[in-house]
Amino acid sequence: MATTTRIRDDLRYGYAVGRVRVLSGRLLSGVTFERLLDAPDLCEQKRILAETHVGRYLEHAETAAEVERALDASLADLYDEFLERAELPAAVVKYFQAPHDFANLRLTVKSRVLGVPVDEPLSPLGSIPPEDFAGEGTALPASMRELLTTWDEAAETPDLDEVETLVDREMFSALDAAARASKVRFLRELTKLRIDLANARLLVRSRTKGLPPAEITARFVPGGSQSLKALVLAAPRMSASDLSEAIAATRALGTMSEADLTDIERFDASADSLIAQRMLSARRSPGGAEPVLAYVLGREAEAMLLRTVMVGRLAGLDREHVRASLRERI
């Protein structure tokens, strides 16, 4: 049965795998990101990127907003080639579109909670038109519509961390459903890792914020390792070092160390590195879905890093601060 599935996947993804073999070597290297960090201005950054696959999108960008739109355009073309024209299964396409839908939901909900207009354009890369997030969100799926209006009648402004956590919880549930429907083992395993990372991060932050078990449970994402869920009741009573040791001992996060679990910034960098390792392993697969999906995920991660470097520098962030935030990610 496994052999039959592999043959069927090799046929289904054949065109895309061939393209990926050519294009994977063009992904931006750590050396390129170092050059971008050292560049004195946007003009020099664009010159460095001129001969790369993102150069033509950035050619006329002069502001942070234009850089954002250029990177979105590069991802839109990527999705068109590898998700649409390659005729990948609908569940796979949904897996890549869902994070953009939930990013739009997160931004909209936070603006409603704070009582301010949405101050940046919504992403056009999801499956839901940006205009559907306006008003009462009547065109949104029921679960997203409920989150959109949950705090409208709240007597007090909720903690924005709570808002983000609950939106992320719903996003990971949607990714888990899409991964299962795709029947692609790589996506299922990657999603489980991402859920475990989100739950581990929740446990670490809950200890710092003093959240009670009931609140941790409400924010916990289903679909991950039971060994992490078993720590929910004990986490509030544990010291930071004991909790980090207990999380590391579950092995749900692979080789992530106790030291990686004691600081949120270090944790986030290690989490990105762990996911990157999984994608690199998948890109080396001889065929099937893995190299195609890993390439698309790699391009998404690359766009995120470019945003950090280019928009961060345009915003006047210190070069060494940006470098430190990227050190574990490139």
pLDDT, tens digit (0-9, with 9 covering 90-100), for 58-81: 999 999 989 999 999 999 998 888
**Do residues 23 and 162 share a domain?**
no
Angle, CA 199 vertex, CA 193 and CA 205 arms, to 5°? 135
Number of domains in the chain: 2
In the prediction, which pLDDT does 288 show? 72
Domain boundary residue among 140, 168, 196? 168
- Least trusted range by pLDDT, from 42-51, 68-77, 127-136, 251-260: 251-260
In the prediction, which pLDDT does 3 show? 46
Domain boundary residue among 168, 201, 233? 168
**Do residues 184 and 196 share a domain?**
yes
**Do residues 83 and 228 share a domain?**
yes
Q: What is the mean pLDDT of residues 189-205?
A: 92
Please give the residue that has the higher pLDDT: either 274 or 317.
Answer: 274
Q: What is the mean pLDDT of residues 169-177?
A: 94
**Do residues 184 and 296 share a domain?**
yes
**Do residues 181 and 239 share a domain?**
yes
**Distance between CA atoms of residues 329 and 107, nearest Å:** 25
**Do residues 175 and 29 share a domain?**
yes
**Do residues 239 and 145 share a domain?**
no
Residues 6+ apart with CB under 8 A from 155: none
The band of 11, judged by pLDDT with boundaries at 50, 70 and 90, is: low
CB atoms within 10 A of CB 22: 8
Domain containing 61 equals 2-88+169-326
Q: Which helix (H) or strand (E) holds 55?
A: helix 55-58
- Residue ranges of the alpha helices (H) in 253-289? 264-283
In the prediction, which pLDDT does 316 show? 78
Residue 140: φ, ψ to 5°: -80, 155
Contact 9, 288 (CB under 8 A): yes
Residue 283 has pLDDT above 80, yes or no: no
**Do residues 186 and 157 share a domain?**
no
- Give Dmax (Cα) for the chain: 58
Q: Read off the tokens for 193.
A: 């890792």
Helices vs. strands in the chain: H and E counts, helices first: 17, 0
In the prediction, which pLDDT does 208 show? 79
Q: What is the mean pLDDT of residues 104-109?
A: 95
Region for residue 223 given its phi and psi (left: phi exceeds 0; alpha: psi -120 to 50; beta: otherwise): left
Residue 13 has pLDDT above 70, yes or no: no
Contact 166, 219 (CB under 8 A): yes
In the prediction, which pLDDT does 84 show? 73
- Residue ranges of the alpha helices (H) in 84-232? 90-114, 142-149, 160-182, 185-209, 213-219, 226-229
In the prediction, which pLDDT does 2 show? 46
In the prediction, which pLDDT does 179 show? 94
Computed over every residue of the chain, the mean pLDDT equals 86
- Least trusted range by pLDDT, from 75-89, 95-109, 128-142, 289-303: 75-89
**Distance between CA atoms of residues 296 and 292, nearest Å:** 6
**Do residues 174 and 208 share a domain?**
yes
**Do residues 103 and 197 share a domain?**
no
Chain length of the chain:
330
Residue 22 has pLDDT above 90, yes or no: no
Angle, CA 267 vertex, CA 262 and CA 268 arms, to 5°? 150
Please give the residue that has the higher pLDDT: either 86 or 200.
Answer: 200
Give percent of the chain above pLDDT 70.
Answer: 92
Q: What is the SS3 assignment for 313?
A: helix
**Distance between CA atoms of residues 281 and 21, nearest Å:** 14
Q: Read off the tokens for 152.
A: 């409208």
**Do residues 193 and 272 share a domain?**
yes
**Do residues 185 and 144 share a domain?**
no
Angle, in degrees to the nearest 10, between helices 160-182 and 90-114: 170
- Least trusted range by pLDDT, from 160-164, 202-206, 226-230, 266-270: 266-270
Residue 178 has pLDDT above 80, yes or no: yes
In the prediction, which pLDDT does 10 show? 53
Q: Read off the tokens for 2.
A: 């496994």
In the prediction, which pLDDT does 7 show? 41
Residue 177 has pLDDT above 90, yes or no: yes
Residues 6+ apart with CB under 8 A from 17: 10, 287, 288, 291, 292
Domain boundary residue among 168, 191, 206? 168
In the prediction, which pLDDT does 153 show? 84
- Least trusted range by pLDDT, from 10-19, 98-107, 211-220, 250-259: 10-19
The band of 45, judged by pLDDT with boundaries at 50, 70 and 90, is: very high
